[in-house]
Structure 1
Amino acid sequence: MTEYLIFLAISTAIFALFSLGLNLQWGFTGLINFGHIAFMTLGAYTTVLLSLQGIPLFISAVMGAIVAALLGLIIGFATLRLREDYLAIVTIGVGELIRLVVNNQELPVGDTWVSGAFGVQSYPIPLTTAPNLFFRLVMIGLLTLLAAITFWALWRWIRVAQKSLRIDTSKKVSSKQELISRLSVGLIFALLTAGIYIAGVIGLYNYSPKAGLMLVSLLVLGFVFWRLEILVRSPWGRVLKAIREDEEVPRAMGKNVFWYKVQSLMLGGAIAGVAGAFFAWQLSAIYPDNFQPQLTFDAWIMVILGGSGNNIGTILGAVIFFTYDALTREYLPRIFTNLSSDQLGAFRIMIIGLILMVLMIWRPQGILGKKEELTLSK
C-alpha cells in the first residue's frame, strides 16, 4: 500500500507539472496547444541522453527544460502571427513529428548509437543509492516542511473565501458557493497530504528510491506552483489574461502581444520539459510509444476538470484524474468480469468522457474556475 501511494504521488506530481505548463499557455493566455506532449518528449530524451554522457542529473534536467522552451520559441515564431487555429494545427503535427523522428533515428546512448525504436534503458536516476541515516532524516524533515506548508496554504486559501463572504454581502450566494468548494477541496487535499506524508516517511526511513523521487518531484511541483502563482498575479500575468480575453486591448496599450504569447509558450514548454525528466526517471526506461498524443488530452482533461486559469484547480484535476484512474483499474475488472482488458480500457475512457460532458453542462468553468474567465469559447 505504501509503495502504491508513493507511485500515485509521483504520477500525480508529474502530470500536475505537465498540466501547469498547459494551463499557463491556454488557461492564462488562451493559446490552444494540442501537441503539449512534444515538450515532454524533448525534456525526457534530452535529460536521459545528456545524463548518459556523464552530465549531472540536475544540469541535464535544466537543459531538457531549455530545449523544450526553444521548441516553444520555434513554434511561436512560426504560428503566433497567424490565426489562432494555426497554433492548434501545428502543435498536433509537431507532437507526432518529434515522436516519429525519435522512433526512426539512432540515438547516442553512451559510447554507442542505438535505434530509437529500441528505447533507452539503464540511465541514471536520482537518489538510487540509499543515503545514511542523517540524510534520510533530512529528507523526512523536508517532506515534513512541505506537508506543513501545504496545510498552512490550504488554511490560508480557505480563510480568504471566509473573509470575502463576510465583507462582500452583495455577492453572498456566490461567495458561499466558493467557500463550500474551497472547504471540500481543502479537505480532499488535507487527507491526501496526510496519506502521502505517512507513506513518504515510511518509504524514506526504510529507504526506497521511489520515495526519494517522490520527495524531489513534490518539491519541484511546490516550487513551480509557487513561482507561477507569483507570476500570474504580477503585471506580466495580468497582460496574459488581457491577451486571453481580447488581445486588441493590450495591443492598444502598447504591449507587444506577440512576444508575450511567445514567452507563455516557452515557459509552459519548459515546465513540461521538467515534467518529462521526471516521467523518464519514473519509468526507468523510455520508448517513443510512451509519448502518445493521449497524454496531451489527459492534461487537457486535468485542466478542464480543475478549472482553466487556476493553478490549484489544475493540481486538483490531476489528483481527481489519477484517483479515478487508480479506482477504475482496481474495481472495474471485478465488476465487469466478462469484459476484456481492451474493452475495459475503452469503458474507462467512456466514463471520463461522460463525466466531462456532465461537468461542461453543470459547471463549464471547471471545479475551481471562474465563469468570467472561461476560455472554452475562444
Structure 2
Amino acid sequence: MTAYLVATLALVAISTIAGLALNLQWGLGGLVNFGLFGFVMLGAYTCGLLNVAGWPPLVAMAAAILVTAAASAAVSLISIRLSDDYLAIVSLGFAESLRLFISYEEWLTRGTLGVPGIVRPFTGWVPPAAADAVFLAFAVACLALVYAVFEKLARSPFGRTLRATRDDPTVAEALGKNVLWLRLRTFGLGGAALGIAGSLHAFNYTYIDPTQFGPVITAYAFMAVIIGGRGSNTGVLLAGFTVVLLLEGSRFLIDAFGLLDGARLAALRLLLVGVALVAILIFKPDGLVREYRLTSAAKEGP
C-alpha cells in the first residue's frame, strides 16, 4: 500500500506539472495546445534515450528540457499566424506525427519495443528501500520549482501582458506589445515544463514505449486547468491533486463494493470525474481559485 501511494503521488506531481504548462500556454496566453502529450513524449524519449546511452540522469533531463522547449517554440513559430482551433489542430498534428515517428523509426527510438533500463537520478546514492521515496521527493521538488517560477511570471509584467494578449491581442499590439514574440516565449516556457514532466515520466517507470502517451495526458491537463481555474496556478495545483487522486483512489472501490467488476469500476470512475467536472462548471464557473489580477488599493479620504 505504501509503495502504491508513493507511485500515485509521483504520478500526481508529473500530471500537475503538465497542467501548469498548459495553464501558462492556454490559461494565461490563450494558446490552445491539444498536442501536449506529444511534447511530454518528446521529453520522455529524449531523456530516456540519452540516459540509456550513458548520460547521467540529470544531464539527460536538462537536455530533454532544452529539446522540448525548442520544439515547442518551433511549433509556435510555424503556426505563428494561427489561433484558437487552427493552432489546436497544428499542435495535435505535431503530436500524432511524433508518435508515428517514434513508433516506426526503430533505428533511433527502438520503436514499439520501447526503451528499457532508464536509470533514475540519485540511484546508487541511496539504499534501494528508499529509492521510491527519494524519487517522489525529487518529483515534488520539480513541481514546486515549476509552480514558483510560473507563479512569479503570472504576477510579473510578463504575465499581465500575456493576459492582455489573451483577452484582446489587437489592443495589446496597438499598445506596442510584440504579440508574436510573446507567443513564442510562452510556448517555449510551457515546453520546458513539459520536458520536465516527460523526463519524470521516464524516470518514474524506468521504461517507456509509445503506448504510454496519448490524448488522455492532454485531457488530464485540461481537466486540471478547467477545474482549478483558468489562469490560476494555485487552482491547477489543487485540481491536479484532486483529479488524479480521484482517478487512482477510486480503484479501491472494487474492494469496498463487491458488486463492482473491472468494467463497471472503470465506468464509475469516469462518471465520478465527469460529474465533478460538470458540478464545478455549474457552481464554480471560474474554477476553484480565480486567477491573479493586479489591483490597486482604494484611496481613503481627501
Aligned partners of 1:280, 1:342: CA distance in 2, in Å? 29
Partners of 2:231 and 2:292 within 8 A in 1: no
Structure 2 counterpart of 1:6: 6
Q: 1:125 aligns with which of 117, 120, 125?
A: 120
What SS is found at the alignment partner of 1:129? Answer: coil
Partner residue in 2 for 1:44? 44
The match for 1:308 is: 230
For residue 87 of structure 1, what is the aligned residue in structure 2?
Answer: 87
Query: 1: distance between equivalents of 2:291 and 2:137?
Result: 32
Kept in 2, the 8 Å contact 1:38–1:95? The answer is yes
Instruction: Name the residue aligned to 2:174.
Output: 252
Q: What do residues 278-331 of structure 1 show as CA deviations (whole Å, max 9, x unaligned)?
A: 011111111100001111101111111111111111111111012212321111
Q: What SS does the aligned partner of 1:254 have?
A: coil
Match of 1:358 in 2: 279
Deviates more, 1:356-365 or 1:269-278: 356-365
| TM-score relative to the length of structure 2 | 0.91
**2:227–2:281 contact (8 Å) kept in structure 1:** no
1:150 alignment partner in structure 2:
none
When residues 300 and 265 of structure 1 are mapped into structure 2, their CA distance, relative to the original with a 3 A threshold, is same
* Number of residue equivalences: 294
TM-score (norm 1): 0.73
Higher Rg: 1
Distance 1:344 1:106 in 2: 37
The alpha-carbon distance between structure 1 residues 361 and 122, as it changes in their structure 2 partners (threshold 3 A), is same
Specify every segment of 5 or more residues in structure 2 that has no aligned partner in the other structure, as ranges. Answer: 295-302
Structural RMSD (CA): 2.0
Cα distance in structure 2, aligned partners of 1:82 and 1:4: 43
Match of 1:27 in 2: 27
Distance 1:343 1:10 in 2: 26
1:105 aligns with 2:105: yes
CA apart distance, 1:370: 4.7
Give the distance between the partners of 1:69 and 1:371, measured in 2 at CA: 25
Counterpart residue number, 1:345? 266
CA distance in structure 2 between the partners assigned to 1:88 and 1:271 by the alignment:
19
Q: Which residue of 2 aligns with 1:224?
A: 146
Matches of 1:107 and 1:12 in 2, distance apart?
Answer: 33
Q: CA deviation at 1:83?
A: 3.7
Distance in structure 2 (CA, Å) of the matches to 1:295 and 1:366: 20
**Alpha carbons 1:129, 1:209 under 8 Å: kept:** no
Consecutive aligned runs of 4 or more in structure 1 exceeding 2 Å deviation: 1-5, 127-132, 332-339, 341-344, 369-373
Determine the structure 1 residue equivalent to 2:190: 268
CA distance in 2, matches of 1:217, 1:299: 17
Take 2:236 and 2:288, find their aligned partners in 1: how far apart are those partners?
10
